[in-house]
Amino acid sequence: MGLTSLKKQKRPIYYLDETWVNAGHTVGKVWDETTVKSRKHAFIEGLSTGAKNPTSKGNRIIVLHIGSDRGFVSDSALVFECKGTGDYHESMNANTF
């Protein structure tokens, strides 16, 4: 049964994927909050003054989830620290999956 016929039958279609992220990943662009005037003001408001600059990539985290056009499936996320030193597939294998 093909994807098109499943869609015509209005059957749910689920997508599953995995990826990884290093704890020290940062982006070059940031949101510039103009209403916070000082670190003290941010603290009082319960806000952060920004991420600290990482000194390395940090630990690698593996993320796996499943969802559909209705959102993610409840209690189906798998997130864990990678223990391997090379390709993250050392930690994401058939047994873990």
Residues written for the chain: 97
Among 64, 68, 65, which residue's Cα sits nearest to residue 6?
68
pLDDT less than 70: residues of the chain: 26-33, 49-58, 84-90
Domain segments of the chain: what residues? 10-25+35-91
Structure tokens at 60: 């690698």
Among 18, 33, 28, which residue's Cα sits nearest to residue 92?
18
Q: What is the pLDDT of residue 41?
A: 85
What tens digit of pLDDT does each residue of 46-67 get?
887 666 655 556 678 889 999 9
Q: What is the pLDDT of residue 59?
A: 79
Contact (Cβ atoms closer than 8 angstroms) between residue 64 and residue 97: yes
Structure tokens at 93: 């294998």
